Protein backbone atom coordinates (compact mmCIF):
# COMPACT_ATOMS: atom_id res chain seq x y z
CA UNK A 1 0.00 0.00 0.00
CA UNK A 2 2.81 2.34 0.90
CA UNK A 3 4.52 1.71 -2.46
CA UNK A 4 1.25 2.37 -4.30
CA UNK A 5 0.79 5.78 -2.59
CA UNK A 6 4.42 6.74 -3.30
CA UNK A 7 4.07 5.75 -6.96
CA UNK A 8 0.78 7.60 -7.25
CA UNK A 9 2.33 10.74 -5.68
CA UNK A 10 5.31 10.68 -8.06
CA UNK A 11 3.02 10.12 -11.05
CA UNK A 12 0.73 12.94 -9.99
CA UNK A 13 3.69 15.32 -9.49
CA UNK A 14 4.98 14.41 -12.97
CA UNK A 15 1.61 15.02 -14.61
CA UNK A 16 1.13 18.35 -12.80
CA UNK A 17 4.62 19.44 -13.88
CA UNK A 18 3.94 18.54 -17.51
CA UNK A 19 0.63 20.40 -17.54
CA UNK A 20 2.08 23.46 -15.81
CA UNK A 21 5.00 23.57 -18.26
CA UNK A 22 2.78 23.36 -21.33
CA UNK A 23 0.31 25.98 -20.06
CA UNK A 24 3.06 28.53 -19.40
CA UNK A 25 2.93 28.74 -15.62
CA UNK A 26 6.71 28.87 -15.38
CA UNK A 27 8.57 31.91 -16.76
CA UNK A 28 10.41 31.43 -20.01
CA UNK A 29 14.18 31.40 -20.15
CA UNK A 30 15.79 34.80 -20.65
CA UNK A 31 16.91 35.53 -24.17
CA UNK A 32 20.18 37.23 -25.01
CA UNK A 33 19.99 40.98 -25.56
CA UNK A 34 22.26 42.83 -27.94
CA UNK A 35 24.55 45.11 -25.92
CA UNK A 36 25.75 48.25 -27.60
CA UNK A 37 29.12 49.64 -26.58
CA UNK A 38 28.98 53.11 -25.02
CA UNK A 39 31.60 55.56 -26.24
CA UNK A 40 32.71 58.58 -24.23
CA UNK A 41 34.56 61.82 -24.85
CA UNK A 42 36.68 63.16 -21.99
CA UNK A 43 38.20 66.47 -21.04
CA UNK A 44 40.30 67.38 -18.03
CA UNK A 45 41.66 70.64 -16.67
CA UNK A 46 43.89 71.82 -13.84
CA UNK A 47 42.73 74.65 -11.59
CA UNK A 48 43.28 75.57 -7.97
CA UNK A 49 40.96 78.57 -7.53
CA UNK A 50 37.46 77.60 -6.46
CA UNK A 51 35.74 80.32 -8.52
CA UNK A 52 37.45 79.17 -11.73
CA UNK A 53 36.61 75.53 -11.02
CA UNK A 54 32.94 76.39 -10.39
CA UNK A 55 32.67 78.42 -13.60
CA UNK A 56 34.23 75.72 -15.77
CA UNK A 57 32.33 72.86 -14.08
CA UNK A 58 28.96 74.65 -14.31
CA UNK A 59 29.55 75.48 -17.98
CA UNK A 60 30.51 71.88 -18.72
CA UNK A 61 27.42 70.60 -16.91
CA UNK A 62 25.15 72.86 -18.97
CA UNK A 63 26.69 71.36 -22.13
CA UNK A 64 26.00 67.79 -20.98
CA UNK A 65 29.35 66.88 -19.43
CA UNK A 66 29.45 64.98 -16.13
CA UNK A 67 32.31 65.01 -13.65
CA UNK A 68 33.92 61.59 -13.23
CA UNK A 69 37.18 62.22 -11.37
CA UNK A 70 39.21 64.70 -9.38
CA UNK A 71 42.76 64.07 -8.26
CA UNK A 72 45.71 65.98 -6.93
CA UNK A 73 47.99 67.11 -9.69
CA UNK A 74 51.65 66.46 -10.27
CA UNK A 75 54.12 67.80 -7.72
CA UNK A 76 52.51 71.24 -7.50
CA UNK A 77 49.31 69.93 -5.88
CA UNK A 78 46.97 71.67 -8.35
CA UNK A 79 43.91 69.40 -8.69
CA UNK A 80 42.94 67.82 -12.01
CA UNK A 81 39.21 67.71 -12.79
CA UNK A 82 37.94 65.26 -15.43
CA UNK A 83 34.57 65.17 -17.18
CA UNK A 84 32.95 62.85 -19.73
CA UNK A 85 30.14 63.03 -22.25
CA UNK A 86 28.50 60.22 -24.26
CA UNK A 87 29.37 60.02 -27.94
CA UNK A 88 27.20 58.46 -30.65
Instruction: Give the pLDDT means over successive 10-residue stretches in the chain (88 positions).
Output: 69 70 68 87 92 94 94 83 93
Task: Report which DSSP code applies to 85.
Answer: E
pTM: 0.56
Q: What is the pLDDT of residue 56?
A: 94
Q: What is the pLDDT of residue 77?
A: 81
Q: What is the pLDDT of residue 28?
A: 72
Residue 47 lies in a domain: yes
Residue 32 lies in a domain: no
pLDDT tens per residue, range 39-57: 999 999 999 899 999 999 9
Q: What is the pLDDT of residue 16?
A: 72
Q: CB burial class (10 A; 0-12, 13-18, 19+) of residue 83?
A: buried
Residue 31 lies in a domain: no
Strand blocks (E) in 11-77: 39-46, 66-71
Q: State the chain's maximal CA–CA distance in angstroms.
A: 89
For residue 44, the enclosing domain spans: 2-26+37-87
Domain count of the chain? 1
Amino acid sequence: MRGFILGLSVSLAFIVGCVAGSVGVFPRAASAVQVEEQRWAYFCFERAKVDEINDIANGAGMRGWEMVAAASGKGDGVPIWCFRQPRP
